[in-house]
Amino acid sequence: MISAGDFRNGVTIDIDGAIFQIVEFQHVKPGKGAAFVRTKLKNIINGGVVERTFRPTEKFPQAHIDRSDMQYLYNDGDLYYFMNVENYEQVALNTDTIGDSLKFVKENEMCRVCSHAGNVFAVEPPLFVELEITETEPGFKGDTATGASKPAIVETGAQVSVPLFVNQGDVIKIDTRTGEYLSRV
């Protein structure tokens, strides 16, 4: 059990059967009246964010989130298959669970699968990936002075905005959290 007075960012708690992660918290001590804790909570199952206030003495059970490294194998229609590299156990996840978290991930790359009480609710891709550009317009000499960018399609099918000097066949580094181009490799 964790009391509201001990809340910290990133802590996961169980409120009325729903699992929430604390995004922000603030201890408020008004001049008149009792102190309270103002929080911003993110539902880890559906991603919704709510703001709630609690008395510092309120207690909640702490939810344990299992994060295991698994290898993304392949997708077969609307199922995505992952394998635990330690015991070779395979897990099939549907498109609703995956969302768009795998748009920069190639087959056979490692991902982090998040679950609570055996139910998988999210897949975290690696922070940075290196992908080859399969389709983009050619850049022209002298066009790079403005810092302009152009759209490019990478080998996973995702679209990324890249500088004009990047050409088809180049391998680039991408931040998967923002989808931004970082550098050529």
Q: pLDDT digits over 53-77, tens only?
A: 999 999 999 888 888 899 999 988 8
In this structure, what token pair is assigned to residue 158?
């995702």
What the chain holds in terms of domains, given with CATH numbers, is 2-60 (2.30.30.30), 66-124 (2.40.50.140), 128-184 (2.40.50.140)
Please give the sequence-ordered ranges of beta strands (E in DSSP) within 36-78, or none if there are none.
Answer: 36-43, 49-54, 59-60, 66-76
The pLDDT confidence band at residue 52, using thresholds 50, 70 and 90, is very high
User: Rg for the chain (alpha carbons), in Å?
Assistant: 22
Q: pLDDT digits over 124-170, tens only?
A: 889 899 999 999 888 666 655 667 788 999 998 889 998 888 888 89
Query: Under a CB-based contact definition with an 8 Å cutoff, are residues 48 and 23 in contact?
Result: no
Q: What are the residues facing 113 on neighbouring strands?
A: 68, 123
3-class secondary-structure state, position 14: strand
Residue matched to tokens 């008395």: 55
pTM exceeds 0.85: no
The pLDDT confidence band at residue 173, using thresholds 50, 70 and 90, is very high
